[in-house]
A and B are shown apart, each in its own frame.
Chain A
Amino acid sequence: MKSELISHSYLDYAATTPVSQEVAAAMQPYFSQMYGNPSSIHQYGQQADSAIEEARLVMAAIFKVTPKEVIFTSCGSESDNLALRGAALAAREQRNASHILTSPVEHPAVSRTAEQLARLFGFELEMLPVDEFGRVRAVDVAARLRPETAVVSVMAANNEIGTINPVDQIGAVCRQAGIPFHTDAVQAAAHIAMDLSSLPIDLVSLGAHKLYGPKGIGALIVREGTPLLPVQTGGGQEHGLRAGTSNTPYIVGQAVAFQQAALQREQHRGKLIEMRDHLIRTVLETVPHSQLTGHPQERLPNHASFVFKGVDGNQLLMVLDGRGFACSSGSACKTGSPEPSAVIKALGLAPQWALGSLRVTLSHLTTEEEIEAFLNTLPDAVHRVRMLRG
């Protein structure tokens, strides 16, 4: 029946982004014209294979790695799974490693995988401390590294609170100790250039849909010499690290999306930071009992996140949606679970604050009018939700 959305201001670009026209156009020929299986000998296969290898070259150039270090996966979560499980099991096989070091502010794709490795394979799972901004310090990593550490995983930038971690320093500490270091850069990649020729990071998870690429495609960068076992076994695709027929149109689309992000990132950064800081300042001024979550400066340029005292975050999202603003919160559970997320919990907020989280994430497509309209609506929306308590 009706298909137009009642929400008309999308302020949830950390959840996902629209596919850009350039990306959609680049993907188009690979659905029904150049549809060959890239593993086939014939010319159909060759066409697809060359598109994929071209995409791999593009990705490799952006991250300053060699093409064979780029492994295509189906999404950022799969990349996290492959990195953590693949590195932990390889380290177990090669040197009987038994220890995984990670942080309490990881994406569930990392933390759930680490928990399963602990449960099924007996790895000891150790959590790094974070500061009030949800930040991991390299000295804390250094103090906890052991010869039997299989892998260290610390995300580059947090999806819920936007905080950027010093992955250069953490990576340096790990490299010195000879322990593989993984970072989930799914959120960071849209905004932060990563030159892996100088950054000491062994495994980098990426996803296309956070930067105007399609959903359902991602990549894991695996620096040469990093021990890794495949998680999905089968054919020898992706250098034997990820079996399954390659998804040609999506791989092509992803490369275009990353290329555009690399080209446009700097020109958008200034405007994004300006909009973000205006938004943060105004919210903290106009909404009583409000607090920024995450680091005030070391945060993603498009990312503003808050907690409001005595507010049910899910209710707030519904009220905002009803008034035309699509945002997100820390507790992403759509079925209405009232538990604060692990990330929000890790910040050590008092319970009456922890449920009231709100994330507003912007794009170069966001207009100042949208932000002003949002800022005009939010104080009353928070007030309405506060009135519902008790």
Chain B
Amino acid sequence: MDFSIPKGAKIGVAMSGGVDSSVVAALLAEQGYQIFGMMLRLWSEPGLEAANRCCTPDAMARAKHVAGQLGIPFYAIDARDVFRETVVQYFIDGYTNGVTPNPCLACNRHIRWEFLLNRALALDADFMATGHYARLQREPGKPVRLLRGIDPGKDQSYVLSVLNQAQLRRAVFPIGELQKAEVRALADKFGLPSASVKDSQDLCFLAGRDYPNFLRRHAPESVNSGEIVSREGEVLGQHNGLAFYTIGQRKGLGIARPEPLYVLEKEPRANRLVVGTKDQLGQSNLRTHQVNWVSGRPEQEPFRAEVKTRYTAQAEPGLVTPSEDGQFKVQFDRPLRDITPGQAAVAYRNDEAIVFGIIRGEGAAETSFKEVKLFE
């Protein structure tokens, strides 16, 4: 527990009906904070409104029930329009520009920690708490530091490193100090429903459906077929749309060759998919844009760090070199196979998230994120 939160503070708890945020609410209530629950109603495709994984009517009913058990006020907050305009648009923009976006980043930046936080503050909250597995360190006069959650399998600091200091100062992550198993045990102790919202790689607004069909409906220009070529420019086949391929992918290319071929790169301007052999795969460098120095103070000197290039990836050691415009490059100690433009690179020093940036594609359009930006 973070003891730097003043006693008696008013805290809005972002609830989901799942075990993590329910335990957060119970822990804070037990410690005597004045708390209230909030739950976002998010956008789903018309006709699938009941199926948004993050806020089904069932989940809403569970969250409301937990709030009732704890005797705290609970408010459902409609974010459907703003979610469509930011998170879903970010997702569509990314694929339209030939990169692989992570819309959860836009959600944390624009929905949870802007739209929802502003509503919590309007409800006179001093802080907003969520069930994220991450830790914060507050010291007077210093920037708030964002640290990895104690449970390595659950750490969510990667998606939270989009937050700025104003957001972090208002944030409380009570279960970042706990293992998932401890959270479940607490749920039992408090008599809360202990079912997790199913961990899933699916995006909430896809409602369990596949993204290719979503893109066909909402961004048809992102799914034009084009040429599959080798590094040398030899045409080897046809792809169905760049959006359907990921860097490092081997299966499903539809090319008969003696040696297996892998997706090396996407060329959105030419709408070409570049493939090659295993030894051609892998990259030791990445460049970023859309950068967020978590402390709010860009570093000047190169530093050694562990860098995560996807939510689920292992952090890899390398050298982070800041550039004068506040962006940064990474030189990894060994090549990585799946550095994917559009995903975030987050550099950690020890357990602390230092800097966040969106991985830039070498051949990708520089005009990525034409409409929705993570940072102004």
Interface set of A (CB-CB < 8 Å, partner B)? 1-4, 6-7, 314-315, 318-319, 321-323, 334-338, 384-385, 387-388
Contact = CB atoms under 8 A, between A and B. Distances in A.
B122 A384 contact: yes
B9 interface: no
A335 to B, nearest CB: 5
Given A1-B70, A2-B70, A319 B122 contact: yes
Given A335-B76, A388-B122, 12 more contacts: A1-B29, A2-B29, A2-B70, A318-B77, A318-B123, A319-B123, A319-B124, A321-B75, A335-B41, A335-B78, A336-B41, A336-B77
Contacts of B71: 1-4
A7 B71 CA distance: 12
A4 B122 CA distance: 23
B119 A388 contact: yes
A12 to B, nearest CB: 15
A131 B76 CA distance: 34
27 contacts: A2-B71, A3-B71, A4-B71, A314-B77, A314-B78, A315-B77, A315-B119, A315-B122, A318-B119, A319-B123, A319-B124, A322-B36, A322-B124, A334-B76, A335-B41, A335-B60, A335-B76, A335-B78, A336-B76, A336-B77, A338-B78, A338-B80, A338-B81, A385-B122, A387-B122, A388-B118, A388-B122
Interface of B: 29, 36, 41, 57, 60, 69-73, 75-78, 80-81, 118-119, 122-124
Contacts of B119: 315, 318, 388
Nearest to A320: B123
Contacts of A321: 73, 75
> Which 8 A/B pairs are nearest by Cβ-Cβ distance?
A2-B71, A336-B78, A336-B76, A322-B123, A384-B122, A318-B75, A1-B71, A336-B41
A351 to B, nearest CB: 13
Contacts of B76: 334-336
B187 to A, nearest CB: 15
Contacts of A337: 78
Contact of B124 (A7, A323, A334): A323
B100 to A, nearest CB: 31
Contacts of A1: 29, 69-71
Nearest to B36: A322
A260 B57 CA distance: 41
Contacts of A7: 73
Contacts of A322: 36, 73, 123-124
A385 B123 CA distance: 9
A245 B75 CA distance: 38
Nearest to A381: B122
Contacts of B78: 314, 335-338
Nearest to B115: A388
Given A336-B78, A385-B122, A2 B41 contact: no
Nearest to B191: A1
A280 B80 CA distance: 33
A7 B73 CA distance: 9
A319 B119 CA distance: 9
Contacts of A336: 41, 76-78
A317 to B, nearest CB: 9
A323 B41 CA distance: 23
